[in-house]
Amino acid sequence: MAPFSKAEKHAAVAIRVAIVGVGKITRTSTSALSVTEGAELAAIVDRNALIGGVAHFKTLEEMLAIEHRIDAVAMSDICTLKHIPAV
Max CA distance (Å), the chain: 51
Residue-number span of the structural domain to which 65 is assigned? 6-83
> What CATH code is carried by the domain that includes residue 24?
3.40.50.720
pTM of the model: 0.67
Identify the weakest region by mean pLDDT among 45-49, 75-79, 81-85: 81-85
Per residue in 20-56, pLDDT tens?
A: 888 766 666 677 777 788 888 889 898 888 888 889 9
Domain presence at residue 69: yes
Domain presence at residue 74: yes
Domain presence at residue 10: yes
Nearest to 27 by CA among 64, 74, 85: 74
Percentage of residues of the chain with pLDDT beyond 70: 67
Residue 65 has pLDDT above 70, yes or no: yes
| Contact in structure between 25 and 11 (CB atoms under 8 Å) | no
Domain presence at residue 1: no
Domain count, the chain: 1
